[in-house]
Amino acid sequence: MTYKKLTDPFTEKESTNTILRKTDNAVIPFDDANTDYIEYKAWLDAGNTPEDA
Amino acid sequence: MSQLNVNAIRSANGTGDAISLAAASNTCTANITNNLSNRNLVINGAMTISQRSVSTAWAANGYLTCDRWNHTINNSAGRFTSKQTADGPDGFRRCLELDVTTADTSIAANEHALIQYKWEGQDVQQLAKGTAGAKKFTLSFYVKGNGNATYMCEFYDRTNDRLTRQQFSVTSSWTRVTLTFNNETSNGTINDDNSHELDMSIWLHAGSDFTSGTYTANTWAAKTNANRAVGISSLFSSTDNYFKITGVQVEVGDYATDFEHRSYGDELAKSQRYYYKNPSNMYLTKYGSGSICNVFNPVTMRANPTITQGSGFSISQISPYSFYIYKSSGDSGVAENGYEVSAEL
């Protein structure tokens, strides 16, 4: 599993509330109730870092 | 005009009242076993909705076919294909079938396979678990296999890490299983929120890490993995094996009522709180140097959902109600591929 930071299309700056899961091109919102985000946080906690946008 | 003046009505051969009448309020309490509405806590219990697929070979844990039903195989070489199959007892046209494609007769300690239904905490508050008014609840379902087998049904209060379980039997005919579960008045209440706080698992295969303990039926206790699947058969013992289930109902009370059939539209809308797929093309409108489409979800979703779309697009402004799909270059009116939206537990 790998992740990549996103650029917000409206602000054209790095998104502060979404991340891309590269395996299936899924955009995951930063919501503690979202199970994909919970999985992403565990991935970060394991010492991983996402690719830059 | 005549009237019947009694305090209760029961069968001549019964041991309990079918109808009890209360003098003070001029009301009655009746143990009616049919025609009650909105009592089933399970969405898609009749397995009528399968937005993702009608047949998927297990490749990873998750939701494969029938909506709301999660599949797990951990550490086992055994494999099944999950199907929405046209089979069922009278009144049911669909079931969830797990059809074994790879057997596993050398069971390592840490193996297990199960299907699971997950609830938001706010949807099970009527059980009053952990309070003085805690209510018994009854699970019922129809099940069929290719032969006799014993499996385990487990409820897991994830808020408080408490579990209870009961074994059940499967035969080669459709059989209705009814299991009434005791509740507990202490050890914590279930969080009242939109997160995964309670689940029901049907254990179909397990190694000694989950079978080497003691089976105590229908008693809530702290989690002890060794007790979770004691005495069960292994679905993976042969590629001849299959497991079919439908008509799943969980309701407050200590008896099983008739299954509450809901319309396809009702079940679809309830399922779409957690997941929906729009396979249709969509049309983006010119926006700056690119194009954009504002998508409104068909129902309010459980949480901010994950959006899966083809490459070359950006997703923004995600909420339980809507989101934007944006393409950095392109003209308006261009048909594009569909998308999947998931707020699963």
The complex's ipTM works out to 0.95
**pLDDT in the model for residue B310:** 72
The 8-class DSSP code of residue B127 comes to G
What are the φ and ψ backbone dihedral angles of B211, each rounded to 5 degrees?
-120, -5
**pLDDT in the model for residue B309:** 84
* Interstrand relation of B334-336 and B282-287 (parallel, antiparallel or unpaired): antiparallel
Q: Does A23 touch chain B (CB under 8 A)?
A: no
- Using an 8 Å CB-CB cutoff, list chain A residues near B290: 9
- First-to-last alpha carbon distance for chain B, in angstroms, is 57
Question: Are B308 and A9 in contact (CB < 8 Å)?
Answer: no
B42 and B137 in contact (C-beta within 8 Å)? Answer: no
Question: Are A31 and B303 in contact (CB < 8 Å)?
Answer: yes
Q: How many CB atoms lie within 10 A of CB A43?
A: 17
**pLDDT in the model for residue B34:** 65
Residue among B60, B163, B46, B61 at smallest CA distance from B116? B61
Residue A1 banded pLDDT, cuts 50, 70, 90:
confident
**pLDDT in the model for residue B85:** 98
Helix (H) or strand (E) holding B97: strand B95-102
**Separation CA B217–CA B183 (nearest Å):** 13
B165 and B152 in contact (C-beta within 8 Å)? Answer: yes
- B76-114: b (≥16 Cβ within 10 Å) or e: bebbbbbbbbeebbeebebbbbbbbeebbeebeeebbbb
With a CB-CB cutoff of 8 Å, which residues 278-307 of chain B face chain A? 290, 292, 302-307
Q: Does B320 touch chain A (CB under 8 A)?
A: no
Nearest neighbour of B314 by CB, restricted to A6, A21, A35: A6
**Separation CA B158–CA B177 (nearest Å):** 25
Residue among B237, B184, B242 at smallest CA distance from B206? B237
**Separation CA B120–CA B6 (nearest Å):** 43
**pLDDT in the model for residue B240:** 98
Give the closest-approach CA distance of B117 to chain A in angstroms: 15
**pLDDT in the model for residue B283:** 84
Residue among B324, B307, B305, B306 at smallest CA distance from B316? B324
The 8-class DSSP code of residue B52 comes to S
Measured CA to CA in angstroms, residue B85 lies from B97, B118, B143, B243 at distances of 6, 22, 13, 11
B119 and B155 in contact (C-beta within 8 Å)? Answer: no
Q: Does A39 touch chain B (CB under 8 A)?
A: no
B190 and B196 in contact (C-beta within 8 Å)? Answer: no
B247 and B88 in contact (C-beta within 8 Å)? Answer: yes
3 state DSSP class of A49 = coil
Nearest Cα residue in chain A from B301: A34
Alpha carbon dihedral B120, B111, B49, B254, in 10-degree steps, equals -60
**pLDDT in the model for residue B35:** 59
Nearest neighbour of B328 by CB, restricted to A9, A26, A29: A9
pLDDT tens track of chain B, all 345 residues? 789 999 999 999 999 999 999 999 899 988 877 657 889 999 999 999 999 999 999 999 999 999 999 999 999 999 999 999 999 999 999 999 999 999 999 999 999 999 999 999 999 999 999 999 999 999 999 999 999 999 999 999 999 999 999 999 999 999 999 999 999 999 999 999 999 999 999 999 999 999 999 999 999 999 999 999 999 999 999 999 999 999 999 999 988 999 999 999 999 999 999 999 998 888 888 888 888 899 999 999 999 999 998 767 889 999 999 999 988 877 777 777 789 999 999
**pLDDT in the model for residue B93:** 97
**Separation CA B120–CA B102 (nearest Å):** 34
Nearest neighbour of B308 by CB, restricted to A15, A24, A35: A24
Nearest neighbour of A25 by CB, restricted to B302, B309, B345: B309
